[in-house]
Amino acid sequence: MTCANVLTIKMNNKAAATAAMATVKNVLATTSIKEPREGKFAEIADCLKVKKNTISGFTGVWVDTWELLIPEILKALAAQGNKFSGDNHWSSDYDSEYWQFNFDGKELVITSNFHCGDDEPVCQECDEEVTYEYDEDNDCYVCPECGHEMSAEEYEARCETFKIQKFTF
Ligand SMILES: [Zn+2]
């Protein structure tokens, strides 16, 4: 599955961002992940731009590749020693994933939250093929047909997968 993907990496200053961009391009040019999009990473590099202290870009990615590629990019950046933080988000019609990352000069922490559209629960009360909708005011999920409520924790446990990766440098 190829998805629209937005990546943002914030460095401390423009010089650090320019150096980081060179590192990112190097990872994209040299990494060898055996995968359908192998050899197509140059397209991703072309989408990324440096503006002030930030690298950002919008690109189509093969999701399975991205899962492997983003930690490789971030680990290579952390190895350079400069602090950074940022996020990455992709979505298709059914699924989406939100990543956040931070490197404080010593530890790189990468979190990801994958939302699986196929696993969204249907209402237990009215048994309709409708999925719960998020109610921002009460931070819970509500059936649009009968009003049955599901806690945010239960909803997320059903269809979201949270992962955390930590690397020390
Ligand atoms: Zn219902």
- Which CATH number characterizes residue 36's domain? 3.30.70
How high is the pLDDT of residue 11?
Answer: 97
CA of 93 to the centre of ligand 1 (A): 23
What are the DSSP E strand ranges found in the chain?
Answer: 2-11, 49-51, 54-62, 84-91, 96-103, 107-115, 133-135, 140-142, 149-151, 160-168
* Domain identity same for 54 and 109: yes
CA of 144 to the centre of ligand 1 (A): 7
CA of 125 to the centre of ligand 1 (A): 5
How high is the pLDDT of residue 1?
Answer: 58
What is the sign, positive or negative, of the torsion defined by CA atoms of 145, 151, 157, 163?
A: positive
CA of 121 to the centre of ligand 1 (A): 11
CA of 90 to the centre of ligand 1 (A): 29
* Domain identity same for 125 and 110: no
* Domain identity same for 47 and 97: yes
pLDDT at 135 over 90: yes
Which two structure tokens, joined as six digits, stand for 81? Answer: 């020693």
pLDDT confidence band for 124 (50 / 70 / 90): confident
Close Cβ partners of 73 (under 8 Å, ≥ 6 residues apart)? 24, 27, 28
pLDDT confidence band for 21 (50 / 70 / 90): very high
* Domain identity same for 112 and 133: no
How high is the pLDDT of residue 9?
Answer: 97
- Number of Cβ within a 10 Å radius of residue 91: 15
> What percent of the chain is predicted at pLDDT more than 70?
93
pLDDT confidence band for 68 (50 / 70 / 90): confident
- Number of Cβ within a 10 Å radius of residue 19: 16
**CA 97, CA 118: separation in Å to the nearest integer?**
14
Which two structure tokens, joined as six digits, stand for 140? Answer: 């819970």
**CA 10, CA 156: separation in Å to the nearest integer?**
29
Number of domains in the chain: 2
Nearest residue to 61 (alpha-carbon basis) of 99, 13, 10, 111: 99
DSSP-assigned letter for residue 120: P
Specify the 3-state DSSP secondary structure of 59: strand
Specify the 3-state DSSP secondary structure of 94: coil
CA of 97 to the centre of ligand 1 (A): 27
pLDDT digits (tens, 9 = 90+) for 152-163: 999 999 999 999
CA of 167 to the centre of ligand 1 (A): 44
Query: For the stretch 114-144, what's the b/e string if a residue is b when 16 or more beta carbons lie within 10 angstroms of its beta carbon?
Result: bbeeeebeebeeeeeeeebeeeeeeebbbbe
* Domain identity same for 13 and 87: yes
Among 37-46, 84-93, 115-124, the least confident range: 37-46
* Mean pLDDT score across all residues of the chain: 89
CA of 130 to the centre of ligand 1 (A): 7
Average pLDDT over residues 101-123: 94
CA of 113 to the centre of ligand 1 (A): 26
CA of 124 to the centre of ligand 1 (A): 7
pLDDT digits (tens, 9 = 90+) for 33-58: 766 655 567 777 888 999 999 999 88
Specify the 3-state DSSP secondary structure of 25: helix
CA of 95 to the centre of ligand 1 (A): 22
pLDDT at 165 over 90: yes
How high is the pLDDT of residue 46?
Answer: 84
CA of 37 to the centre of ligand 1 (A): 42
Where in the sequence is the domain holding 57, given as residue range(s)? 2-117+161-168
pTM of the model: 0.85
